[in-house]
């Protein structure tokens, strides 16, 4: 079982989705990280969860309304100054890691500038954002979902991420039989104790 750090390993001193949070995760035994991406006004892919910057920085404004150079003026750190990272900056920093990339908006696969140094899982809550991404050996594509969603073409995805408190044997079995990898997220200390032990053992990644 491989542990993935959600938005990196952040705390009161380290901001979420920062280089320090990702470094901290790997320094503390995590084998993978999860991060969120959006595009700036000048089409740079940056790592941030919200559509606005005020919650995680000392600035104000929408990501889509600001250029990357404008974003560099703001501090996204906590105990020391950090700038908003570009996705390419993050993925080029590491080797042989698991990197889960959540699309917060529609972004073309070529705009992600993926390399061959890591294993990538590309996902979104919005199926429209990932449905036209071609399947590839370079990455896996999937959906983040709470329960069954009939709008998803299951033949078009490699994995599904399901919230820990909502995963059941029935749901797990449904996707497992269709050859879709299940990733469980929102896990605290242990996976849902109601889940079949064989399914728990079979789960490769938890977030």
List, by residue number, the catalytic residues. Answer: 6, 49
Q: What Cα–Cα distance (Å) separates residue 52 from each residue in 37, 71, 97, 150, 179?
A: 12, 11, 28, 31, 37
Q: At 23, which helix (H) or strand (E)?
A: helix 19-27
Q: Which residues, in sequence order, are CB contacts of 179 under 8 Å at separation 6+?
A: none
Q: Which residues, in sequence order, are CB contacts of 72 under 8 Å at separation 6+?
A: 83, 84
């Amino acid at each position: 079982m491989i542990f993935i750090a959600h938005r990196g390993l952040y705390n009161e001193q380290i901001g979420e989705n920062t280089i320090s949070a990702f470094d901290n995760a790997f320094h503390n035994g995590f084998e993978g990280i999860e991060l969120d991406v959006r595009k700036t006004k000048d089409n740079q892919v940056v790592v941030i969860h919200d559509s606005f910057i005020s919650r995680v920085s000392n600035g104000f404004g929408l990501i889509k309304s600001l250029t990357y150079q404008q974003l560099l003026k703001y501090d996204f750190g906590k105990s020391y100054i950090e700038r908003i990272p570009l996705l390419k900056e993050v993925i080029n920093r590491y080797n042989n890691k698991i990197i889960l990339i959540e699309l917060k908006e529609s972004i073309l696969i070529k705009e992600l500038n993926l390399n061959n140094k890591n294993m990538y899982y590309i996902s979104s809550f919005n199926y429209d954002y990932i449905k036209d991404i071609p399947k590839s050996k370079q990455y896996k594509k999937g959906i983040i979902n709470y329960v069954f969603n009939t709008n998803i073409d299951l033949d078009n995805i490699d994995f599904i991420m399901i919230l820990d408190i909502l995963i059941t044997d029935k749901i797990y079995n449904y996707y497992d039989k269709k050859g879709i990898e299940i990733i469980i997220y929102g896990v605290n200390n242990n996976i849902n104790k109601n889940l079949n032990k064989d399914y728990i053992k079979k789960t490769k990644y938890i977030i």
